[in-house]
Amino acid sequence: MKVEQIVEATLFASQTPLTLEEISRADDGLDVERVVEAIQLLRDAYEEAERAFQIYQLGDGFQILTRPEYAPYLERFDSVPRAPHLSPAALETLAIIAYRKPIGRIEIEEVRGVSASSVLRTLLDWELVQVVGRGEGLGRPLLYGVTQKFLEHFGMKDVSDLPAADELPVVLGELQQAMEGERSNPLAAETVDSAGESS
Amino acid sequence: MNSIASSQDMNQGSEPFQVSLERFEGPLDLLLHLIRSQDIDIFDIPIARITEQFVSALSDGLETMPIERAGEFLEMASSLVRIKAQLLLPRPEQPDWDEDPRAELVRRLLEYEHFQDVVHVLEGAEAQRGRHFAKGFVESRPAPTLAPVELELTLAEFLAAAARIPEPLPPVEFRPPSQTVTVAEKVSLLRRLLAKAKRVSFDRLFRPWGTRAHAIAALLAALELARQQVLRIEQVKPFASIWLLPGERKRAGDPPEATESAEGIA
Structural domains of chain B, ranges and CATH numbers in brackets: 3-126 (no CATH), 179-265 (1.10.10.580)
The answer to whether A162 contacts chain B (CB < 8 Å) is yes
Residues B69, A114: C-beta atoms closer than 8 Å:
yes
A184 contact residues in B (CB cutoff 8 A) = 96-97
* Other C-beta atoms lying within 10 Å of the C-beta of residue A37: 14
CA distance A6 to chain B (A): 18
**Hey, is B154 helix, strand or coil?**
coil
A3-74 and A88-180 agree in CATH topology: yes
- Tell me what the pLDDT averaged over chain B comes to: 76
- Tell me what the pLDDT averaged over chain A comes to: 82
Average pLDDT over residues A136-147: 89
pLDDT (tens digit, 9 = 90+) per residue, A58-114? 988 999 999 999 988 888 876 666 667 889 999 999 999 999 889 999 999 999 999
The pTM score is 0.59
Pairing of strands A142-146, A129-134: antiparallel
Residue among B1, B87, B126 minimizing CB distance to A86: B126
* Range with the largest mean pLDDT of A126-130, B168-172, B174-178: A126-130
In this structure, of A11-15, B61-65, B153-157, B169-173, the range with the lowest mean pLDDT score is B169-173
Residue among A80, A165, A168 minimizing CB distance to B138: A80
ipTM over 0.85: no
The answer to whether A194 contacts chain B (CB < 8 Å) is yes
Residue A172 vs residue B214, higher pLDDT: B214
Residues B47 and B83 sit within 8 Å (Cβ to Cβ): yes
List, as own/partner pairs, every contact residues A167-171 make where C-beta atoms lie below 8 angstroms and the sequence separation is at least 24, other chains included: A168/B114, A168/B117, A168/B118, A168/B121, A169/B117, A170/B110, A170/B113, A170/B114, A170/B116, A170/B117, A171/B114
Residues B51 and B77 sit within 8 Å (Cβ to Cβ): yes
Residues B138, A79: C-beta atoms closer than 8 Å:
yes
pLDDT at site B257: 46
Residues B26, A70: C-beta atoms closer than 8 Å:
no
pLDDT (tens digit, 9 = 90+) per residue, A167-193? 766 555 555 555 554 444 444 333 333
Topology (CATH) of A88-180: Arc Repressor Mutant, subunit A (1.10.10)
Chain B residue with minimum CA distance to A82: B130
State whether CATH 3.40.720.10 applies to domain A3-74.
Answer: no
Residue A131 vs residue B265, higher pLDDT: A131
In this structure, of A38-47, A159-168, B77-86, B116-125, the range with the lowest mean pLDDT score is A159-168
Domain boundaries, chain A: 3-74, 88-180
Whether pLDDT at A6 is above 90: yes
Q: Where are the alpha helices (DSSP H) in B89-102?
A: none
Q: Which of B122, B138, B139, B141 would best serve as a mutation to test chain A binding (most A beta carbons within 10 A)?
A: B122
